[in-house]
């Protein structure tokens, strides 16, 4: 069972039965309908016979045919026995045998008309000209059966000359045709909901229309002053009523207006009133037939044109809605910053859910390594249970063949869960568990790569998506694919940038370690000679530029070769390390200590010569006062030199080295200062 169409959507022929009702209720309804159809046929036939044209049994106005066609189309062709019984009763005055034969023709004609109209398929609202023209073509064609069968049935009992036979056949055919044209749409177009809405929303206007129709028909058909040829022209005054009804009301009201005018015309013809006074019965009946046929055809065409206009407005509205939605969706995703793309996609799902009327909208991505789908984004209508937490790590094999279908760029449309193909039966429990009755899914392809798919579920009732809706959903899928590709590229770029930053950090640390190893003495951890040379050069330039003092203390350990020879190099290294630690602890932050080489050390300090000599004496004393096991007490000789104006670092070193040599030469364990 498909979703109930909206009031603006073209309807379909009503369903004949109610399969959910108990059998005895269906039987009672069927019997009551058969009896009602037979009675309605009989009574309307008696009314038609009041306007007999030939043989007192052939009328130019035969309502039973239209009633029969309308009933068969609404209830089903299986109700033809009621039609046959009514036809038998209406023509029983011909005798039982003849009436049975006539009833066969009168039954076959409406049955054939109903069967032909069901092949269109016919819209009972006659919302387009195709339905009207098909109705106007098939009904007269089917109505050739009743006069043919009826006249052949009564021919043995009645001597009819050939010209009179043709006249009788045409009269019969015309009467059946006009009755079908008028009453079949009246029965088909009846809809209680539409009528209630018209009464609720347009009740006052409807009352004025019907009052104007009756009043206008009375003035035209029962006006005692309307005589002569000009009386016929007054009929033109009634056509605006039909146009008014067609432009403002549904088909049933339009045909009802035409039926009222036809009834007034028939009554006036029977009473020889108004324009029929001077015509006589037969010409008057011919005028009634012509008027009824014309008004009915005009009513149907006006209703069809109004329906097409309304359908065009609906399509235009749908197109505008499609255009606005498509523009909004594509613009928002295109303009969304990458860091806000997740929220933009969620907002897009809300728009898509509102546009498509779906109960659930979602986006899945692929995990190609694990061959799984994951529900990444989801929107649900109010009252619909979210499934995003349950739909994680869904294997591809859960829906056989779907991944291949998506990779070919094909959508998947399931109009009803009960119509699911056997090859997808494995997915049925998963869909049923989510309450899905209809769904449509689109692949998200970007650059030939399948990124995932978007889907739309109908949960409350099966859903039919229009072509425009499907077109927008396809456009949305393409837009989503581009956005997801952009997002993946951005994330890949972010990951690459993160990896590059990590690599740069590791490289920086490695370079720093290498630089430290290149500038640091491995044994003592002090700056080495290479680093000290660079520092000395820069400090000399700075002191010359800003006229600041700078002194250099060069010292080595006395008799260090003897320590190595006696105690070994390991003890010798411990002595060097201990001396370096001792001196470092007692230097200021502005002083720099470096290992010059072997047992020689150098201190660079921003002091004048006297202060530098005092510092050197302090360092000598610290070294002498701290014995180092197993060596015991050790001593150091120190040479001090202050930077002179325009002196280079090499010259400063050379003078400090000369002072150190002098300290050693004069007995060691002392400080010597370099002269100018």
C-alpha closest to that of 645 among 539, 538, 531, 540: 540
| Chain position carrying tokens 């806000």 | 340
d(CA 213, CA 263): 11
Q: Is 468 exposed, middle or buried (0-12, 13-18, 19+ CB in 10 A)?
A: middle
- Using DSSP, state whether 374 is helix, strand or coil: strand
Kindly report the CA angle at 318 between 315 and 319, in degrees rounded to 5?
A: 85
Which tokens sit at 353? 């859910």
Beta bridge partners of 446: 449
Residues involved in catalysis: 599
The 10 Å Cβ neighbour count of residue 148 is 16
| Chain position carrying tokens 């200590």 | 593
Contact (CB, 8 A) for 40 and 50: no
Peptide bond between residue 579 and the one before it cis (omega within 30 degrees of 0): no
Beta bridge partners of 552: 604, 641
DSSP 496: H
Calculate the CA 37 to chain-centre distance: 49
Give me the torsion for CA of 442, 448, 452, 456, rounded to 10°.
-10
DSSP assignment of 315-337: HHHHHHHHHHHHHHHHHHHHHS-
**pLDDT reported for residue 169:** 86
C-alpha closest to that of 628 among 556, 542, 567, 546: 567
pLDDT, block means (10 residues), the chain with 676 residues: 35 50 74 90 84 68 87 89 88 74 88 87 76 86 88 69 73 84 83 82 88 87 67 76 84 84 81 70 73 82 82 76 72 75 84 86 91 92 91 89 91 87 84 91 91 92 84 86 82 84 88 80 91 93 93 95 91 94 93 93 95 95 92 94 92 94 94 85
d(CA 552, CA 605): 6
The 10 Å Cβ neighbour count of residue 223 is 15
* Maximum separation of any 2 CA atoms in the chain, in Å: 172
Q: Domain 338-492 adopts which CATH fold?
A: Beta-Lactamase (3.30.450)
C-alpha closest to that of 185 among 290, 295, 310: 295
Q: Domain 8-190 adopts which CATH fold?
A: Arp2/3 complex 21 kDa subunit ARPC3 (1.10.1760)
- Give the 3-state DSSP-derived string for 594-662, with helices as H, strands as E and coil as C: EEEECCEEEEEECCCHHHHHHHHHHHHHHHHCCCECCCECCCEEEEEEECCCCCCHHHHHHHHHHHHHH
Sheet (strand 592-597) strand order: 592-597, 600-605, 551-557, 636-642, 671-673
Give 469's contacts (C-beta < 8 A, 6+ positions apart): 322, 355, 356, 357
Residues of the chain with CATH 1.10.1760: 8-190
Calculate the CA 332 to chain-centre distance: 14
Beta bridge partners of 556: 600, 637
Q: What are the phi and psi torsion angles at 423 (to 5°)?
A: -70, -15
d(CA 228, CA 629): 153
Give me the torsion for CA of 390, 393, 399, 400, rounded to 10°.
-160
CATH for the 529-673 domain, from 3.30.1130.10, 1.10.1380.10, 3.90.800.10, 3.30.70.270: 3.30.70.270
d(CA 111, CA 24): 26
- Using DSSP, state whether 451 is helix, strand or coil: strand
Contact (CB, 8 A) for 84 and 107: yes
The 10 Å Cβ neighbour count of residue 403 is 18
Helix H or strand E segment including 52: strand 52-54
d(CA 580, CA 585): 9
Calculate the CA 527 to chain-centre distance: 69
The 10 Å Cβ neighbour count of residue 481 is 23
Helix H or strand E segment including 218: helix 192-221
Contact (CB, 8 A) for 110 and 91: no
**pLDDT reported for residue 89:** 86
Which tokens sit at 265? 């015309």
d(CA 1, CA 42): 36
Contact (CB, 8 A) for 563 and 572: yes
Contact (CB, 8 A) for 117 and 134: yes
Beta bridge partners of 374: 365
| Chain position carrying tokens 């008028």 | 182
**pLDDT reported for residue 199:** 84
């Amino acid at each position: 069972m498909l979703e109930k169409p909206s009031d603006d959507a073209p309807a379909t022929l009503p369903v004949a039965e109610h399969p959910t009702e108990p059998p005895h209720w269906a039987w009672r309804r069927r019997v009551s309908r058969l009896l009602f159809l037979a009675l309605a046929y009989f009574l309307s036939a008696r009314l038609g016979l009041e306007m007999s044209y030939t043989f007192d049994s052939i009328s130019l106005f035969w309502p039973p045919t239209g009633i029969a066609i309308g009933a068969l189309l609404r209830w089903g062709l299986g109700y033809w026995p009621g039609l046959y019984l009514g036809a038998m009763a209406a023509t029983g005055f011909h005798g039982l045998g003849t009436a049975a034969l006539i009833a066969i023709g009168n039954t076959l004609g409406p049955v054939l008309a109903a069967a032909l109209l069901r092949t269109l398929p016919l819209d009972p609202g006659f919302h387009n000209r195709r339905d009207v023209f098909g109705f106007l073509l098939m009904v007269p064609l089917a109505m050739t059966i009743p006069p043919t069968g009826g006249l052949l049935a009564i021919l043995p009992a009645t001597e009819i000359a050939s010209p009179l036979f043709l006249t009788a056949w045409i009269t019969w055919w015309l009467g059946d045709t006009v009755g079908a044209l008028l009453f079949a749409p009246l029965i088909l177009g009846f809809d209680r909901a539409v009528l209630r809405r018209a009464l609720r929303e347009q009740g006052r206007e409807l009352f004025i229309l019907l009052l104007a129709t009756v009043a206008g028909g009375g003035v035209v058909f029962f006006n005692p002053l309307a005589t002569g040829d000009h009386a016929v022209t007054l009929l033109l005054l009634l056509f605006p009523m039909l146009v008014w009804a067609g432009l403002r009301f549904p088909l049933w009201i339009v045909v009802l207006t035409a039926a009222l005018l036809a009834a007034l015309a028939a009554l006036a013809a029977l009473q020889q009133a108004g324009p029929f006074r001077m015509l006589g019965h037969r010409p008057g009946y011919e005028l009634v037939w012509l008027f009824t046929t014309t008004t009915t055809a005009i009513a149907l065409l006006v209703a069809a044109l109004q329906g097409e206009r309304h359908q065009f407005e609906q399509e235009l509205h749908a197109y505008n809605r499609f255009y606005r939605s498509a523009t909004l969706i594509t613009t928002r995703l295109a303009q969304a910053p990458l860091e806000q793309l997740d929220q933009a996609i969620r907002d897009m799902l809300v728009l898509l859910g509102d546009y498509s009327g779906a109960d659930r909208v979602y986006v899945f991505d692929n995990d190609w390594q694990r061959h799984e789908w994951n529900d990444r984004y989801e929107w649900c209508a109010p009252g619909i249970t979210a499934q995003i937490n349950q739909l994680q790590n869904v294997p591809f094999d859960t829906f056989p063949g779907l991944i291949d279908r998506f990779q070919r760029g094909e959508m998947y449309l399931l109009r009803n869960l009960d119509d699911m193909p056997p090859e997808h039966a494995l997915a049925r429990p998963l869909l049923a568990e989510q309450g899905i009755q209809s769904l449509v899914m689109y692949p998200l392809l970007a650059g030939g790569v399948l990124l995932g798919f978007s889907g739309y579920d109908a949960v409350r009732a099966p859903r039919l998506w229009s072509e425009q809706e499907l077109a927008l959903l396809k456009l949305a899928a393409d837009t989503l694919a581009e956005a997801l590709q952009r997002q993946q590229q951005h994330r890949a770029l972010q990951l690459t940038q993160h990896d590059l930053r990590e690599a740069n950090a590791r490289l920086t640390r490695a370079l720093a370690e290498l630089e430290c190893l290149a500038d640091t003495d491995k044994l003592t951890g002090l700056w080495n000679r290479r680093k000290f040379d660079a520092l000395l050069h820069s400090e000399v330039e700075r002191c010359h530029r800003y006229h600041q003092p700078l002194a250099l203390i060069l010292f080595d350990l006395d008799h260090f070769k003897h320590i190595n020879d006696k105690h070994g190099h390991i003890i010798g290294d411990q002595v060097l390390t201990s001396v370096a630690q001792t001196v470092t602890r007692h230097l200021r932050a502005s002083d720099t200590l470096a290992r010059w080489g072997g047992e020689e050390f150098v201190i660079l300090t921003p002091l004048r010569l006297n202060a530098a000599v005092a510092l050197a004496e302090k360092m000598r004393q610290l070294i002498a006062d701290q014995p180092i096991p197993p060596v015991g007490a050790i001593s150091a000789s120190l040479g001090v030199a202050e930077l002179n104006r325009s002196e280079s670092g090499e010259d400063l070193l050379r003078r400090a080295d000369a002072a150190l040599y002098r300290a050693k030469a004069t007995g060691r364990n002392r400080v010597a200062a370099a002269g100018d």
